Amino acid sequence: MSRLVVISNRLADPRKPAAGGLAVALGEALNQTGGLWFGWSGNVVEGGTPGEGELHTRQAGAVTLATVDLCREDHDSYYHGYSNSVLWPVFHYRLDLADFNASYIAGYRRVNQMFARKLLPLLREDDILWVHDYHLIPLAAELRAMGCKQRIGFFLHIPMPPPLIMAAIPQHEWLMRSLFAYDLVGLQSEADVSHFTRYVRNEGSAEEVDAQRLRAFGGTVQVQAFPIGIDVDEFTRLTHAPDAVETYENMRDEYSRRRLLLGIDRLDYSKGIPHRVRAFRELLDRYPENRDSATLIMIASPTRDDVNAYADLRQELEGLCGAVNGDYGELDWMPVRYIHRMVARKRVPGLCRAAAVGLVTPLRDGMNLVAKEYVVAQDPDDPGVLVLSRFAGAAEQLKEALLVNPYDTQGMADSIQQALQMPLAERQARHQKLMARLREHDVHWWRKSFLNALQTADD
Ligand code: ADQ
């Protein structure tokens, strides 16, 4: 069996459950093959030399973790700059929030080149490489330029935008051409695959070699959707573990007279959090029977606080929540509880299980794992209802959720009301179908199908 080498911007110790399902799933494959995980150490060195960074290696069981430091200039242009102020907003269709500062691209290229240079001597001839996410799009091209012949796959965790939106990035052609240095490009959904295909047909005069392979920009690449799943068994175990049960019971007792609606996200503008509060306000307005009862709990963890768009979002959200509480609240009922914090992973299933409605309403999302976690945490005998944005990648799979358009405040309020009123038999039937699909396409299925496709790509 080939050794697996995973490359991602950040690493997690796969032995620690707090690392989350993805790290554990990748860790499992890395463990089986005595693999290598490579990425940024998380250290930022003040005054260091651009394009240079110290390499650190350590063992985590059978897995070698190799990480590189970044100097301040590289960190600011590669990570904050090109990755999170150009690629993240544009790939989420937010051209209005993109900052096309011309200096960022040099840092992005420099760090990808440095990663390639540091990684190359660590590689063995029959390794198989799996690169993750938008920070590292040109990594394979850099490795190939240095003579790397191993199979390399890429998985994009965020959406692939439609061609005309992609074209707003000054370096769009270079980015897309870079993807042709991979043997396999994995995307989250069929919609993403169709955006990719349309782009290369229009801009790269692509020819279809077969159903999954495209020839363009002087290369051939296999492109497929691999919707990422969660570790259903592990999340079920977590749901029945003492911390989650305690959280569930506390919530149930504390809110015994209320119906709970829950949102858990990183506080990111792609997640549609203010839109959710507006729809909740509309619910209280249009369906007054929910007053003094429906309570929206929103847990939004801090993320990239030093980027302006995030500070604006926080302010907007605080204003909206305050206004709903001020206008509708009673002495003994606060309609919205907004908590700007991360909750411990082991408590997440308990929160999900206590909520009659799970609100997952991103404006755009590659997949959205919270939607899947909410479903798995439910009591099959009395499950809650998932209200899911049609713009989340997960909507392609989770058809039995109530699919909503987060821009349509009234429509979303109506769907939340439908969820709150849904009869038990319908909730059970929908939940069963959703669970069957989540089990079939869990994170292990995702990892295995990607790696099988990579192993056989181009044969
Ligand atoms: P994210 O944008 O981070 O991931 P998501 O898929 O929702 O989004 O995963 C978030 C994870 O963090 C979930 O496991 C969730 O439980 C946890 N989490 C989020 N907020 C939390 C909070 N406040 N407290 C505790 N835990 C919290 C990117 C893409 C997604 C894609 C994933 C995986 O943006 O579209 O689904 O990668 O590919």
Work out which ligand 1 atom sits closest to the CA atom of 342: 24
304: number of CA atoms within 13 Å, CB side? 20
276 CA to centre of ligand 1 in angstroms: 17
H or E element in which residue 145 lies: helix 139-145
Give yes or no: residues 301 and 168 share one domain: no
Nearest residue (by CA) to ligand 1, atom 16, is 370
pLDDT, one tens digit per residue, over 205-236 is 788 899 899 999 989 999 999 999 999 999 99
Cβ(14)–Cβ(30) under 8 Å?
yes
Mutate to test the pocket of ligand 1, among 268, 370, 397, 398 (most ligand atoms within 8 A of CB): 370
Nearest residue (by CA) to ligand 1, atom 37, is 157
Work out which ligand 1 atom sits closest to the CA atom of 341: 23
Instruction: Give pairs for 282-289: CB < 8 Å, separation 24+.
Output: 282/409, 282/410, 282/412, 282/413, 283/413, 283/416, 283/417, 284/324, 284/328, 284/335, 285/413, 286/410, 286/413, 286/414, 286/417, 287/413, 287/417
State the pLDDT at residue 21.
Answer: 61
Mutate to test the pocket of ligand 1, among 266, 338, 360 (most ligand atoms within 8 A of CB): 266
Cβ(297)–Cβ(337) under 8 Å?
yes
Nearest to 101 by CA among 126, 125, 118, 76: 76
Give yes or no: residues 396 and 339 share one domain: yes
What's the rounded mean pLDDT across residues 132-155?
97
State the pLDDT at residue 308.
Answer: 75
State the pLDDT at residue 73.
Answer: 97
Give yes or no: residues 249 and 156 share one domain: no
Give yes or no: residues 164 and 40 share one domain: yes
Nearest residue (by CA) to ligand 1, atom 9, is 369
DSSP secondary structure, 404-443, as one string:
E-TT-HHHHHHHHHHHHH--HHHHHHHHHHHHHHHHHT-H
Nearest residue (by CA) to ligand 1, atom 1, is 368
Work out which ligand 1 atom sits closest to the CA atom of 230: 14
Give yes or no: residues 409 and 334 share one domain: yes
Work out which ligand 1 atom sits closest to the CA atom of 370: 7
State the pLDDT at residue 319.
Answer: 97
Query: Of the residues 157, 195, 275, 431, which is catalytic?
Result: 157
State the pLDDT at residue 1.
Answer: 79
Mutate to test the pocket of ligand 1, among 9, 84, 368, 369 (most ligand atoms within 8 A of CB): 369
Q: How far is CA 244 from CA 261, 295, 377, in A?
A: 17, 20, 10
State the pLDDT at residue 304.
Answer: 73
Q: How far is CA 87 from CA 6, 92, 131, 334, 412, in A?
A: 21, 8, 16, 38, 29
Cβ(392)–Cβ(275) under 8 Å?
no
Nearest residue (by CA) to ligand 1, atom 24, is 342
State the pLDDT at residue 37.
Answer: 96
What's the rounded mean pLDDT across residues 191-202?
96
State the pLDDT at residue 459.
Answer: 61
In one letter, which amino acid is 174? W
Give yes or no: residues 262 and 209 share one domain: no
pLDDT, one tens digit per residue, over 72-117 is 999 999 999 999 999 999 999 999 999 999 999 999 999 999 999 9
Measured distance CA(20)–CA(38) in Å, rounded: 18
98 CA to centre of ligand 1 in angstroms: 22
Give yes or no: residues 216 and 274 share one domain: no
Query: Of the residues 127, 183, 192, 365, which is catalytic?
Result: 365
Give yes or no: residues 216 and 266 share one domain: no
Work out which ligand 1 atom sits closest to the CA atom of 265: 20
202 CA to centre of ligand 1 in angstroms: 33
pLDDT, one tens digit per residue, over 111-141 is 999 999 999 999 999 999 999 999 999 999 9
Residue 383 pLDDT > 60, yes or no?
A: yes
Give yes or no: residues 422 and 307 share one domain: yes
Q: Which of 305 and 356 is assigned the larger pLDDT?
A: 356
Give yes or no: residues 372 and 431 share one domain: yes
State the pLDDT at residue 27.
Answer: 82
Mutate to test the pocket of ligand 1, among 92, 337, 367, 372 (most ligand atoms within 8 A of CB): 367
244 CA to centre of ligand 1 in angstroms: 18
Q: How many domains does the chain have?
A: 2
pLDDT, one tens digit per residue, over 332-371 is 999 999 999 999 999 999 999 999 999 999 999 999 999 9
Percent of the chain with pLDDT over 70: 98
373 CA to centre of ligand 1 in angstroms: 10
Measured distance CA(33)–CA(354) in Å, rounded: 40
Measured distance CA(176)–CA(204) in Å, rounded: 9
CATH code, domain with 298: 3.40.50.2000
State the pLDDT at residue 199.
Answer: 96
pLDDT, one tens digit per residue, over 307-321 is 777 888 999 999 999
Q: How far is CA 297 from CA 49, 230, 273, 368, 432, in A?
A: 46, 23, 12, 18, 25
Give yes or no: residues 210 and 289 share one domain: no
157 is catalytic: yes
Give yes or no: residues 193 and 322 share one domain: no
Lining ligand 1 with CB less than 6 A are 20, 157-158, 228, 264-266, 299-301, 342-343, 348, 365-370, 373
Domain that holds residue 115: 4-229+443-456
327 is catalytic: no
pLDDT, one tens digit per residue, over 8-58 is 999 987 776 555 667 777 888 898 889 999 999 999 999 899 999 999 999
H or E element in which residue 176 lies: helix 172-179
265 CA to centre of ligand 1 in angstroms: 6
Mean pLDDT of the chain: 95
